[in-house]
Amino acid sequence: MPDGIPPHVLRLYPLPGREIGEELVYEDLDPPGARENGLRRPRVLINMVASLDGRASVGGKAGSIGGEIDRRLMRLLRSKVDGVMVGAGTLRSERMSLGVPEALAERRLSRGLDEQPLALVLTRSGNVALDTNLIETSNQDTLVLNGAVNLATALERLKEHHGIELLLVEGGPSLNHALIRSGLADDLFVTLAPKLVGGARSLTILQGPELALENPPEPVSVHLSEGHLFLRYALHPPGRAGL
Amino acid sequence: MPDGIPPHVLRLYPLPGREIGEELVYEDLDPPGARENGLRRPRVLINMVASLDGRASVGGKAGSIGGEIDRRLMRLLRSKVDGVMVGAGTLRSERMSLGVPEALAERRLSRGLDEQPLALVLTRSGNVALDTNLIETSNQDTLVLNGAVNLATALERLKEHHGIELLLVEGGPSLNHALIRSGLADDLFVTLAPKLVGGARSLTILQGPELALENPPEPVSVHLSEGHLFLRYALHPPGRAGL
């Protein structure tokens, strides 16, 4: 789809269902409302794409699961936040950018945000494949975080020292799991791509031991575009201040 | 939830979104329309429940993933079909009924269907755990199928010899995969329960080699009730006559 023609997006939930402009899909995340969470850590959003059979990767890569519409809405979400984080394993698995295209960068500037979100790579091994796999975006800074420290502490430091109030995490499944298990994730965005993938060694969006969450995830919105369902859930981590 | 109080169901898609009676969720599957598919095999529906992270089982069992609303709509779907099939492995994993409660049985009779759908268990090993795990439903017959034969042939026999025109398959993941891979499944119903399960050895709704489908699954309807999303897709298997 050419960049100039915005795709057809249906908001299914909350009612009333209707066609909306793509730019309205996550408008509640625009500043300043979404940033004030009363916590010492940022508000943490997790965004993943999965097939109907729950696979978050094909042949070790996530990039091929979602269609163009998923990539458009992923970039829209990035355009709202102060930082975009991935685990080093995800970055090692495929070449990716963590930035937004020019039109969205301009919109960020007009809203008083930095031109690009801070690119964040969490690593334990130090092997982050920055040179080979991180596609450079102009005017985007990159911060490599040592994941051996406590995750909660690392997030607090991001808020205190780097001004990250709204953080988007794009996997991998182990990082997602660690954040949710520790009650450090607030919002889950799952794109359900109209695919059936199969495969014995495919990952799902969470990788780690069985979870026992205090509160069930709650549907916040459902959008449909080009066969892809965009599902958004509030995770209500324990101890989380209301938004 | 007491049986007498029908739950609140929102039809989100197709538009217009609105609250509907639970009994209307799958009304297009009522006879006679849904039964005439122009094929020698039955029309095959697959119904599964999964968590947001794609898990179709917790500790080897599917029963604990969906809530009461999922069980209600599962039984509603059963009430539309001529036969309900599970793989023997699924039956070995937990105690289950393949029938419908009395109120739905009466509605079947009033529509000219048998009081209960035929219970079908597909086995390769012959170990079907009928005595221990199949909860008996009065007036329901059970047929044990030898899965070592060709699946397509087995389905054709079900239509020709047992009058099964509309068949509901409720897993397990290997049987689902085999049907989809062979182009023998027409409709996929996935309940997305508002849960995050995790767990290293949890199954997803499909278990088997990577798939390469000719046609992408197409969203047909989306319903929401008690935090559960009820997603329905047309699978468009190759060579399938239009409905």
Q: What is the pLDDT of residues B180-219, one digit of tens each?
A: 999 999 999 999 999 999 987 778 999 999 999 999 999 9
The C-alpha of B195 sits at a distance from chain A's nearest C-alpha, in angstroms, of 6
Is residue A72 within a helix (H) or strand (E), and if so which, with residue range? helix A68-78
> Residue B126: its pLDDT value, please?
79
Chain B residue with minimum CA distance to A198: B210
Residue A65, token pair as written in the block: 């699961």
Model confidence band, residue B1 (pLDDT cutoffs 50, 70, 90): very low
- Chain B residue numbers touching A189 (CB-CB < 8 A): none
Q: What is the pLDDT of residues A26-41, one digit of tens each?
A: 999 986 777 778 899 9
The C-alpha of A38 sits at a distance from chain B's nearest C-alpha, in angstroms, of 25
Q: What are phi and psi of A126, to 5 degrees?
A: 85, -10
The C-alpha of B107 sits at a distance from chain A's nearest C-alpha, in angstroms, of 31
Parallel, antiparallel or unpaired: strands B9-13 and B18-20: antiparallel
Tell which B residues from 29 to 88 touch A, by Cβ distance under 8 Å: 50, 52-56, 58-59
Identify the sign of the CA torsion B89, B92, B94, B96: positive
Is residue A91 within a helix (H) or strand (E), and if so which, with residue range? helix A88-93
pLDDT of A2 over the 60 cut: no
**What is the reported pTM?**
0.94
Mean pLDDT score of chain B: 91
**ipTM of this complex:** 0.93
* Section B239-243 average pLDDT: 52
B205 φ/ψ sector (left φ>0, alpha ψ -120 to 50, else beta): alpha
- The answer to which of A58-62, A97-101, A134-138 has the lowest mean pLDDT is A58-62
Task: Give helix then strand counts, H and E, for chain B.
Answer: 6, 10
> Residue B216: its pLDDT value, please?
95
Helix (H, G, I), strand (E, B) or coil at A11: strand
Give me the residues paired with residue A192 across strands: A50, A229
- Calpha distance B197→B129 (Å, rounded): 27
- Whether the CB-CB separation of B82 and B166 falls below 8 Å is answered with yes
* Section A124-150 average pLDDT: 87
Helix (H, G, I), strand (E, B) or coil at B94: coil
**Does B145 contact A at CB distance below 8 Å?**
no
- Calpha distance B231→B223 (Å, rounded): 7
Probe site for chain B from A186, A197, A204, A218 (most B CB atoms < 10 A) = A204
- Quick one: what percent of chain B has pLDDT higher than 90? 76
